[in-house]
Homo-oligomer: A and B are copies of this chain.
Amino acid sequence: MYKATITVRLKSSVLDPQGSAVKGSLHSLGFAEVENVRIGKTLEVWLDSADAAVAREQVEAMCQQLLANPVIENYEFQLEEGA
């Protein structure tokens, strides 16, 4: 069993209205030192692949096909065995 921890972030050139809203809320709560907030996703995927190379290839394909939108998002992942 492998566990992939995938982080999907908006590209830095893409506006992040959710991040701006959270920054506004933090300012309202008194956290005036906050300069910027960006929000992304973390996905944990457990998969039962034959070996690490296969698992890596499968996770890469999942990101391309479903988990990230390569037009506006970047992704990266780490793979652990036996998690």
Chain A positions near chain B (C-beta within 8 angstroms): 1, 7-9, 19, 22, 25-26, 29, 31, 33-49, 58, 61-62, 65-67
What separation, in Å, do the CA atoms of A8 and B42 have in the docked complex? 8
The answer to whether B39 and A46 have CB atoms under 8 Å apart is no
Most chain B Cβ neighbours within 10 Å, of A39, A45, A61: A45
Q: Could you list 20 examples of A-B contacts with CB < 8 Å?
A: A9-B42, A22-B43, A22-B66, A26-B66, A29-B65, A29-B66, A31-B62, A33-B47, A33-B48, A34-B45, A34-B47, A34-B62, A35-B47, A36-B46, A38-B44, A39-B43, A40-B41, A40-B43, A41-B41, A41-B42
